[in-house]
Structure 1
């Protein structure tokens, strides 16, 4: 029960951070004028969340809670179904590949940072 409450509290914080960042990124004029402008904040958020997860390997509050609430599969899905087939395929590919790459690169960076040459 205690872990559930910690994860839930973290998810609230993460969701609010996602909302705030998406408003800020979405307000950048250069982003607002490109095709599928609504997906760029979402991609940035999901890539950043994946990198933070890979670098810090957080516990339940920060990992499942804050970063789980920060990243968003439901927003990714909702954006994907509104696209053309080609756009949806590209979005799925870049999101999945990008999130995995961000996690792996951040994990490698963390491991490299712990080694002194």
Structure 2
């Protein structure tokens, strides 16, 4: 008899792959605010378009995008840059999700 994979293993496996992908792309693009913003916007668009299940959604795309890095960069930059970055992230990610959803 086959048993379904426990939810936490499904999500955790996807998150590990998503975080690994984010790390490799961040290194390839040189790190910093702009590559992270682009990755978060792309992840939001994919989430809106695909509306994936636990492995690809909460797992992979949750690991691919990064709120922790967003918070780190925001807290460790000049307030004016942080304000612009927060605005760009909120507007960009929300617009990307809605655009992805509309394209579905």
Aligned to 1:41, which of 35, 54, 76?
35
After superposition, the C-alpha distances for 1:7-65 in whole angstroms (9 at most, x for unaligned) are 00000000000001111112xxxxxxxxxx71011001100000000000000010000
TM-score (norm 2): 0.92
Gaps (5+ residues) in structure 1?
Answer: 27-36, 111-117
RMSD in angstroms over aligned alpha carbons?
A: 1.2
Gaps (5+ residues) in structure 2?
Answer: none
CA distance in 2, matches of 1:14, 1:74: 14
2:15 aligns with 11
Q: What is the number of equivalent residue pairs in this alignment?
A: 100
1:84 aligns with 78
CA distance in 1, matches of 2:32, 2:19: 17
CA distance in 2, matches of 1:25, 1:109: 27
Query: How does 1:74-113 map onto structure 2 within 5 Å?
Result: 74-110=68-104
Aligned to 1:70, which of 64, 74, 77?
64
Structure 1 consecutive aligned stretches of length 4 or more whose deviation exceeds 2 Å: none
After superposition, the C-alpha distances for 1:54-110 in whole angstroms (9 at most, x for unaligned) are 000000010000000000000000001111111111110100110000000111111
